[in-house]
Amino acid sequence: MIEPRIRRQLPAFEVLAELARRDPQALYALGRVLTDDVIRQAPRAASRRRLEGLKFRIEMERQRAPNPLAACARLSQLMFDSLDELHSVLNEPGGYHRQASPSTGTVLGFPTAQRELR
């Protein structure tokens, strides 16, 4: 089944500002609806998966933040890091290597089972 393409109109800034003052939860719900629309309209399944992952990461950062200003700072840092990575890829394509997150755990192997052959 093909989903219809829904284009929602973003309300004017003044309307959004008033909604933020009077009903922040409604503004947040509107943001979720608009975000889900964008993800649903992504042209490829791989793009939709990446966007869902980004949405999840943003939501987790917002939940971890103690207040809205801290959430804004965390999300701003995420955007800056992403832009810095893009800059590196574009300007140093041969020398770019994504930095791996530091590993702090130990990988243990599964014990091998000794089977009797009959």
- Write out the chain in H/E/C secondary structure: CCCCCCCCCCCCHHHHHHHHHHCHHHHHHHHHHHHHHHHHCCCCHHHHHHHHHHHHHHHHHHHHCCCHHHHHHHHHHHHHHHHHHHHHHHHCCCCCCCCCCCCCCCCCCCCCCCCCCC
pLDDT at position 42: 93
Please tell me the pTM assigned to this model.
0.65
pLDDT at position 109: 78
Q: Is the pLDDT at 118 greater than 70, yes or no?
A: no
pLDDT average, residue stretch 50-76: 95
- At 115, the pLDDT band (50, 70, 90 cuts) reads low
38: amino acid identity, one letter:
V
Length of the chain counted residue by residue: 118
Question: Which residue has better confidence, 95 or 106?
Answer: 106
Q: What percent of the chain has pLDDT over 90?
A: 61
Q: Is the pLDDT at 1 greater than 50, yes or no?
A: no
> In the predicted model, what is the mean pLDDT of the chain?
85
Write the CB contacts of 27 (distance below 8 Å, at least 6 apart in sequence).
16, 19, 20
CB 51 within 8 A of CB 37: no
pLDDT average, residue stretch 27-36: 93
